[in-house]
Chain A
Amino acid sequence: MIYIPNPSVGRRRLIAGAAGLLAAAPIPVVAEAASPPASGGAGQSAVIDVDRARSEPIPIAVPDLGGPDGPSAQLGHDMASVISADLARSGLFRLINQAAFIQAGAPSAGTPNFANWKPTGAQALVTGSVQILGGGQVRVEFRLWDILPQTQIQGTAYTTTQGNWRRIAHIMADVIYERLLGEKGYFDTRIVYISATGPRDRRTKRLAIMDQDSENNRLLTDGSWLVLTPRFHPTRDEIAFMSYANNRPRVYLFNLSSGRQSLLGDFAGMTFAPRFSPDGSGVVMAVANGGGSDIVAMDLGSRSPRRLTDSGSIDVSPCFSPDGSQIAFASDRGGDQQIYVMGAGGGGAKRISFGNGRYATPVWSPRGDLIAFTRYAGDTSNFAIGVMHPDGSGERILSEGWLVEGPTFAPNGRVLMFWRETRSQDARGRGFSSRLVSVDITGFNERPVETPTDASDPAWSPLGT
């Protein structure tokens, strides 16, 4: 894992280098399968279009991509590793061990010898090649095959700068995911989070960003000031977050391209808990008002604030529905903190959480059908991460723990990331930790998300930013 504590060395430069070159050129189908796709059980296709929540993962073979020379072949191996890791981590694919391959090494170009792949149990096969061209360019070709019907599902070539190779591998994994599962993937994405170091009573917190597979970690702030709750802009390379700069806790925007931070709005009191609107034109956040806090929307163009709640209580953690028509938020207006939903213009707030405990941090699924939340009783009993429908029905708990908090959805709505803390075992805080975790929205496939330091406040980027 590489730390580049220099905000100016950004991904944008890498992306800019690839601008226009990422466009995929479809490869003509090399050879139609010798036999037409068989129907019936014997010819079961790897392609499915149903929710695979609890069905068997798709067995897939991802041999190394071939290359005409040593460095190209090495890159082909590395790319296959990234693709394999992405698919395996999703829990929806079962990677066939390369040791089980009948055919050693990278398959040659053209139609694979399906007779060699069928016995491995794989239903899908990825083949391809990598060629390092002059001038730091690389050309990657890949094909996705449906083994039993012996058909090519996808054929694509990419030419890009070599430094982009990981990103191309993630894009390829997304293509595989989408073609086989019928919904968009989430591998070409990043996570912005808060990196924490030092003892609990003197924590240093920094804004950090990494790829969703924990690679390319980078610190965006130097730890001079406490920072919290970063969130991605839906289309721009920009983050909204909270900073205690100059001991004035306020919401700021962080431009990932320039590294520049700018204060959002001019409020007398604390501003916090920001989230962008789905179209990226505005931010909704909480603004301290006396002993309470209100939900305030701010248009990023005019920078004029609009107060959406004024209850005198604590209204916090606003989050738009993906169509922008509603806002979920947490409020203690009824006593204990609960989740409410109101119109995006304010007014008509309706409580939707009625389970046992307090409800916090509502986040709307990009699919629109679920709201994820943190639930807790507030004492020594466990915290929980769960989901419910926007009308409050169908509550399901996905994970529990001493402290679990702050879910964020992958852009396809299929996976949640949150953070998990372990309790201090003594008065010096030993045993305390704070780590990122991901879990499928079915509650299966929970796994740690590696970070170089303790971490919290994850926020998933949109796809392909």
Chain B
Amino acid sequence: MNIKILGALSAVALLAACSTPDATPAAPAATAAGIVPGSQEDLVANVGDRVFYDFNKSGLRADAKATLDKQAAWLAKYATNNVQIAGNCDERGTEEYNLALGNRRANAAASYLKAKGVATARMTTISYGKDRPTAQGSTEQAWAQNRNAITSVR
């Protein structure tokens, strides 16, 4: 089961990195030249704005840490950028518990960034529980996309 999920996740991570099915405007690689360095589009296209979690977990996987390392470096480069980190959950939990789980996920990402030198004052966290799914399907693949922490420039 775990192996199956991990397989789906790596595929999703690739998908997310290039297509970003979020409301945030996606930045296709072809137009990367038009992206303003230090902008949200830059974060999405060249760093990765989100990390993914296993079901009912908030522990950072290796792929998540790699993305957060890049985010920390990017935030060091653009030192005036403040960010919000939003924790999200899939639909296979209850609303109130998922609010807490989303908070825990956002918190895990923020703590990691802090350990990598990002000042606490530059980061806020928020949890949307299961209320802001990126993917609208009811499949393992959709759930894997929706278990995330999304960093956005504020």
Q: Are B134 and A201 in contact (CB under 8 A)?
A: yes
B58 contacts partner chain A, Cβ-Cβ < 8 Å:
yes
B116 contacts partner chain A, Cβ-Cβ < 8 Å:
no
Q: Are B137 and A429 in contact (CB under 8 A)?
A: yes
Contact of A337 among B97, B127, B128, B136 (CB under 8 A): B97
B39 contacts partner chain A, Cβ-Cβ < 8 Å:
no
Q: Are A291 and B23 in contact (CB under 8 A)?
A: no
A432 contacts partner chain B, Cβ-Cβ < 8 Å:
yes
A394 contacts partner chain B, Cβ-Cβ < 8 Å:
no
Q: Are A202 and B23 in contact (CB under 8 A)?
A: yes
Chain B interface residue bracket vs A: 20 to 34
Residues of B within 8 A of A217 (CB): none
1/0 contact string of B96-132 vs chain A (CB within 8 Å): 1101110110011001000000000000001111011
CB distance from A167 to the nearest CB of B (A): 31
1/0 contact string of B76-111 vs chain A (CB within 8 Å): 000000001000000111111101110110011001
B10 contacts partner chain A, Cβ-Cβ < 8 Å:
no
User: For the complex, what is the distance from the CA of A337 to the CA of B100, rounded to whole Å?
Assistant: 12
B31 contacts partner chain A, Cβ-Cβ < 8 Å:
no
Q: Are A457 and B58 in contact (CB under 8 A)?
A: no
CB distance from B8 to the nearest CB of A (A): 13
Contact of A424 among B94, B97, B136 (CB under 8 A): B136
B26 contacts partner chain A, Cβ-Cβ < 8 Å:
no
Residues of B within 8 A of A26 (CB): none
Q: Are A226 and B131 in contact (CB under 8 A)?
A: yes
Q: Are B126 and A200 in contact (CB under 8 A)?
A: no
Residues of B within 8 A of A330 (CB): 96-97
User: For the complex, what is the distance from the CA of A226 to the CA of B102, rounded to whole Å?
Assistant: 15
Interface residues of A in 268-289 (CB under 8 A from B): 269-270, 272-273, 286, 288
User: For the complex, what is the distance from the CA of A229 to the CA of B134, rounded to whole Å?
Assistant: 22
A131 contacts partner chain B, Cβ-Cβ < 8 Å:
no
Q: Are B100 and A314 in contact (CB under 8 A)?
A: yes
Q: Which residue of chain A is the closest to B55 with respect to CB atoms? A: A378
B17 contacts partner chain A, Cβ-Cβ < 8 Å:
no
User: For the complex, what is the distance from the CA of A185 to the CA of B13, rounded to whole Å?
Assistant: 54
A361 contacts partner chain B, Cβ-Cβ < 8 Å:
yes
Q: Are A457 and B95 in contact (CB under 8 A)?
A: yes
A436 contacts partner chain B, Cβ-Cβ < 8 Å:
no
Q: Are A316 and B136 in contact (CB under 8 A)?
A: no
Q: Are B96 and A203 in contact (CB under 8 A)?
A: no
B48 contacts partner chain A, Cβ-Cβ < 8 Å:
no
Interface residues of A in 22-81 (CB under 8 A from B): none
Q: Which of B92, B107, B135 has the most CB of A within 10 A?
A: B92
Contact of A379 among B92, B96, B137 (CB under 8 A): B92
CB distance from B123 to the nearest CB of A (A): 13
User: For the complex, what is the distance from the CA of A405 to the CA of B131, rounded to whole Å?
Assistant: 14
Interface residues of A in 219-243 (CB under 8 A from B): 226, 228-229
Q: Which of A200, A360, A380, A425 has the most CB of B within 10 A?
A: A200
CB distance from A207 to the nearest CB of B (A): 14
CB distance from B21 to the nearest CB of A (A): 8
Q: Are B104 and A428 in contact (CB under 8 A)?
A: no
CB distance from B6 to the nearest CB of A (A): 15
Q: Are B137 and A426 in contact (CB under 8 A)?
A: yes
Q: Are B131 and A228 in contact (CB under 8 A)?
A: yes
A376 contacts partner chain B, Cβ-Cβ < 8 Å:
yes
Residues of A within 8 A of B97 (CB): 314, 316-317, 330, 332, 337, 360
CB distance from A165 to the nearest CB of B (A): 37
User: For the complex, what is the distance from the CA of A432 to the CA of B139, rounded to whole Å?
Assistant: 12
User: For the complex, what is the distance from the CA of A210 to the CA of B103, rounded to whole Å?
Assistant: 32
Known contacts A199-B136, A201-B134, A228-B131; decide if A361 and B92 are in contact (CB<8 Å).
no
Inter-chain pairs besides A288-B127, A314-B101, A423-B138, 6 sampled, C-beta below 8 Å: A201-B23, A273-B96, A286-B100, A291-B107, A293-B103, A360-B96
Q: What are 5 A-to-B residue pairs whose CB atoms are below 8 Å?
A: A201-B135, A228-B99, A273-B96, A314-B104, A405-B95
Could you tell me which B residues sit within 8 Å of A by CB distance?
23, 55-56, 58, 84, 91-97, 99-101, 103-104, 107-108, 111, 126-129, 131-139, 142
Could you tell me which A residues sit within 8 Å of B by CB distance?
199-203, 205, 226, 228-229, 247, 249, 269-270, 272-273, 286, 288, 290-293, 314, 316-317, 330, 332, 337, 360-361, 374, 376, 378-380, 402-403, 405-406, 421, 423-429, 432, 456-457
